[in-house]
Amino acid sequence: KQEVTQIPAALSVPEGENLVLNCSFTDSAIYNLQWFRQDPGKGLTSLLLIQSSQREQTSGRLNASLDKSSGRSTLYIAASQPGDSATYLCASDGSTNDYKLSFGAGTTVTVRA
Amino acid sequence: EADIYQTPRYLVIGTGKKITLECSQTMGHDKMYWYQQDPGMELHLIHYSYGVNSTEKGDLSSESTVSRIRTEHFPLTLESARPSHTSQYLCASSEWVGRGHEKLFFGSGTQLSVL
């Protein structure tokens, strides 16, 4: 089964600093990897989807990279704002789980004003 | 964007009650999912469906059951709720974006507390 790990579990930064969130996965035979945002007590909002043939995806201040060979993805958030405070989850499919998504436990980000 | 709705948003009930968590989506997605999430923990897939009359158990064993009679509707039922069922339940549907890639859309979740 695909195992997804996110480090660190929590992160606190001052406003304006760039954020770097790490995700690792055990099965490199993936179709895609997705990053989600979750606000407290809410559902998940899809941020970026990186297909297995891609190395990165960008949306506004967000950039996600994918390195299948090393089993890693990184989410960069430029010039962080207090509104970026949330939990960010990484999810990946894999051949060992019939290509259903497996989720990491998330990184909880706090951006201090 | 997909529109996917879950009701109720919060539910507090006593042990032994039968409950149904509702999930509906308006985008015509064939695949739908139920995930269970405890605070600070990863999401665990408990049920999924590939379409009408299709239901499968997920990775995490669950005493709940699901049905898929209509494309847009994927309710989850607990026949006899117990405190161990206290958790957040998240419903999702997925959109085919080509070449094995599916994008997930989530509802706002149901926070269930069993006393």
Give the model confidence (pLDDT) of B15-68 as tens digits. Answer: 999 999 999 999 999 999 999 999 888 899 999 999 999 999 988 888 899 999
What pLDDT, on a 0 to 100 scale, did the predictor assign at position A101? 85
Rounded distance between C-alpha atoms, residue A3 and residue A109, angstroms: 22
Closest CA to A46 of B31, B72, B106, B38: B106
CB B48 within 8 A of CB B67: no
Which residue in the set A9, A46, A103 is minimally distant from B103, CB to CB? A46
Instruction: Show residues of chain A in contact with B111, CB under 8 Å.
Output: 41
Q: Say what the pLDDT of residue B69 is.
A: 97
Angle at B65 between CA B64 and CA B68, to 5 degrees: 145
Upstream peptide bond of B75 is cis (omega within 30 degrees of 0): no
Distance CA(A57)–CA(A73), nearest Å, equals: 11
User: How much is the average pLDDT of A25-54?
Assistant: 89
pLDDT of residue A97: 65
Residues from chain B that touch A50, judged by Cβ atoms under 8 A, are none
The shortest C-alpha distance from A65 to chain B (Å) reads 17
| Structural Rg of chain B based on CA atoms | 14
Sole residue written with tokens 């201040």: A61
- Nearest-5° Cα angle at B109, B77 to B20: 15
Task: Say yes or no for a CB contact (<8 Å) between B41 and A49.
Answer: no
Higher pLDDT, A58 or B95: A58
pLDDT at A99 over 90: no
Which residue type is seen at B19? I
> Given this model, what pLDDT does residue A43 score?
85
Contact between chains at A43 and B90 (C-beta distance less than 8 A): yes
Rounded CA-CA distance B9/B22 in Å is 10
> How far, in Å, CA of A9 to CA of A5, rounded?
10
Q: What is the mean pLDDT of residues B3-13?
A: 94
Q: Considering chain A, what percentage of its residues have pLDDT values greater than 90?
A: 72
Report the candidate in B57, B26, B30 with the shortest Cα–Cα distance to residue B44: B57
CA distance A96 to B81: 32
pLDDT reported for residue B13 = 95
Inform me whether the pLDDT recorded for B102 exceeds 80. no
Chain B: give the shortest CA distance to residue A78, in Å: 24
